[in-house]
Amino acid sequence: MLNEVILIKAKFSKLLIKNFAEYKWNYFFILPKLLLFFTFIVIPVFWAFFLAFQEFGIFETKWVGLANFKEAFTGDLFWIALWNTLRYTLTVVPAQIFIALVLASLIHPFSRKIQTFFRGAYYLPTVTSVVVISMVWRWMYTSKGLINYFLSILNLGPINWLGSSNWALPAIILMSILTPPGVGIVLYLVAMGSVPESLYEAARIDGAGPITTWFRITLPLIKPITLYLVVIGTIGSFQVFTQVLLLTDGGPGYATTTLVHLIYNAAFRDFDFGLASAHSIILFGIVLIFAFIQFKFLSTDVEY
């Protein structure tokens, strides 16, 4: 048994050396990126895990075990932030995916040139800084902004969008929903273009209409893209921060405080890095559970 283990190690080492000799320049070119990745992602993640079990101080660090997690779960603010984050996620993610799916379905019948135009038109806003978009929406939400101007014409306003605890979170949600889902549209168009035309021809021969074809053929076969968008969208929505910081800073009260905003305040306002790390690990666990459920119900063996 020992000889077999030694033989396997020797073969693995030989294979590793051969692989490195063959692709050494490839490793050389990705080395700067790997160094940045380990320096700013891998090491901080492991360090945050250890900080979660410590009371971190500038001059002294003390091991406190699960005290930070206990404080997180027993604090009312954590549950408020979790509820706000869940409300945001469960509204924004389905809405953005639905909008992307509908728009992609409307664009798909056009020629390739027209599709390219719409892809660019919808994708360009996604490269715009969230800070810029948030500042524009902040002006639109003011008492004399564009939204209240149209509401006043209909005798429905003005509404104190960002200063009211009832309207602040819906205002952030509305901003996120109305931001064009360019990535989703592009991916859905690619997926729809990959579905074999023979399936649609067979459906038309059997008398299926466009709506039936969309529900019975298109929607099931682009399910992997839907799964990807749901998972990525959920991860991104649980990390919502910039909009909250610039529009409301978690207020009024704690009406728009989200988990990442809570982590930010604990770490960089209160300098409680242990509690912030505990919150981060809890957030990771919540996202992991959501991803597992999504893979469970949306995964499929068919992909085009």
Phi and psi based region of residue 257 (left: phi greater than 0; alpha: psi -120 to 50; beta: remaining): beta
pLDDT at 231: 93
Classified as helix, coil or strand, 63 is strand
Would you say residue 90 lies in a domain?
yes
d(CA 54, CA 65): 7
pLDDT at 67: 92
Q: Are residues 203 and 276 in the same domain?
A: yes
pLDDT at 30: 84
- Stretches where the chain sits below pLDDT 50 are none
pLDDT at 1: 53
Q: Which domain holds residue 100?
A: 71-298
Would you say residue 34 lies in a domain?
yes
pLDDT at 300: 66
pLDDT at 153: 87
pLDDT at 31: 86
Would you say residue 269 lies in a domain?
yes
Q: Are residues 148 and 287 in the same domain?
A: yes
d(CA 171, CA 136): 13
Q: Are residues 30 and 82 in the same domain?
A: no
**Is the whole model's pTM more than 0.85, yes or no?**
yes
Long-range contacts of 71-76 (CB under 8 A, 24+ apart): 71/275, 71/278, 72/275, 72/278, 72/279, 72/282, 73/282
pLDDT at 83: 96
pLDDT at 62: 84
d(CA 82, CA 72): 11
| Number of structural domains the chain divides into | 2
pLDDT at 143: 86
pLDDT at 59: 67
SS3 content of the chain, % helix, strand, coil (to 5): 75, 0, 25
Would you say residue 123 lies in a domain?
yes
